[in-house]
Amino acid sequence: MKVAVLGAGAIGAYVGASLHRAGAEVHLIARGPHLQAMRSSGVRVVSPRGDFVAHPHATDDPAEVGPVDHVFLGLKANQYASAGPLLEPMLAEHTSLIAAQNGIPWWYFHGVPGPFEGRRIEAVDPGGSVSAVMPPERAIGCVVYAATEIAEPGVIRHLEGTRLSIGEPDGSISARCTEFSEAMIAGGLKCPVEPELRHDIWVKLMGNIAFNPISALARATMAAICRHDNTRALVVEMMRETLDVAAALGVHTDISIERRLAGAERTGEHKTSTLQDLEKGKPLELDAILTAVVELAAMADVAVPTLQVVNALADLLNAGVTAAPALAAQGGAR
């Protein structure tokens, strides 16, 4: 099995190193000091489950890789539309795209019978720009429960969890999913093939849709949000509205809001990825996490006033982040 990891950051390099350990032919695509470190010394994984080093091929040029069986996407969802030139050299007729993203994926209504079958979600597939480079029929969904970080270039610190659930958009247990799952398990990870992956998507989204934007707007950790009565109540209302949207689309979760809150509070003084991006001046990855759900609510005729307000505020915040480099350049030119 030949696998390319496009965007071999914290999760991508961890998955790639695990697959390589299982005997798969793995190619990591990255850039900068992280790439140079992986080229020279491999990927070193530091984990409570045991440290190890893997030496898969690492490059910044997908043309060196050629066609593969699977592309594991470690990119952020807002980078998908521009990924076409990187993907093209690696695509054979049978190549799958395994999208490890948070939130609502661009393929969400692919292969699902009903009133929304084949419907495009503009927030995650504006004008069909993502589907044009990543056809939904190539997609395998992936919900990541593992937590990792880049401790230093070439070194991945595994914090907790080893589960990455995957699934076909149409709910089938395909040969390509089974092949990838077996390789992941051989590499020491959990990788169940879920016929109802959308259930996993919404369960994880319950937390992301509330904590990610609030953490950025309030510059607060997850524990701080939970301890503050008003923001805790806000999280509860956002989760309730999210579950209403999921139910209207036929997905009913069996996890309580209080249980999700308790799990979030246990993470302690953790900064969400959105808050970390804000502090680094990077665009906020909220289209798939929040904006798409507001769009789905409108499709399904579900009232989500709280989500709409938070989405408007987060969108304004993101506009300021994305405009900052241009304003800085104008100021420097005077």
Q: pLDDT > 70: what percent of the chain?
A: 97
Residue 282 known to be catalytic: no
pLDDT tens sequence across 135-192: 999 999 999 999 999 999 999 999 989 999 999 999 999 999 999 999 999 999 999 9
Mean pLDDT of the chain: 94
The domain limits of the chain are 2-195, 198-320
| Confidence at residue 177, expressed as pLDDT on a 0 to 100 scale | 98
Of the residues 204, 271, 280, 282, only one is catalytic, namely 204
| Confidence at residue 330, expressed as pLDDT on a 0 to 100 scale | 56
Would you place residue 334 in the very low, low, confident or very high pLDDT band (cuts 50, 70, 90)? Answer: very low
pLDDT tens sequence across 87-136: 999 999 999 999 998 999 999 999 888 899 989 999 999 999 999 999 99
Report, as an integer, the average pLDDT of 243-254: 94
CATH topology (fold) of 198-320: N-(1-d-carboxylethyl)-l-norvaline Dehydrogenase; domain 2 (1.10.1040)
**CATH class of the region 2-195:** alpha beta
| Confidence at residue 329, expressed as pLDDT on a 0 to 100 scale | 52
Residue 19: pLDDT over 90: yes
Report, as an integer, the average pLDDT of 50-76: 97
| Confidence at residue 325, expressed as pLDDT on a 0 to 100 scale | 65
Residue 333: pLDDT over 80: no
pLDDT tens sequence across 278-329: 999 999 989 999 999 999 999 999 999 999 999 999 999 999 998 866 555 5
SS3 string of the chain? CEEEEECCCHHHHHHHHHHHHCCCEEEEECCHHHHHHHHHHCEEEECCCCCEEECCEEECCHHHCCCEEEEEECCCHHHHHHCHHHHHHHEEEEEEEEEECCCCCCCCCCCCCCCCCCCCCCCCCHHHHHHHHCCHHHEEEEEECCEEEEEECCEEEEEECCEEEEECCCCCCCHHHHHHHHHHHHCCCECCECCCHHHHHHHHHHHHHHHHHHHHHHCCCHHHHHHCHHHHHHHHHHHHHHHHHHHHCCCCCCCCHHHHHHHHHHCCCCCCHHHHHHHCCCCCCCHHHHHHHHHHHHHHCCCCHHHHHHHHHHHHHHHHHHHHHHHHHHHHHC
Q: Do domains 2-195 and 198-320 have the same CATH topology?
A: no
| Confidence at residue 323, expressed as pLDDT on a 0 to 100 scale | 82
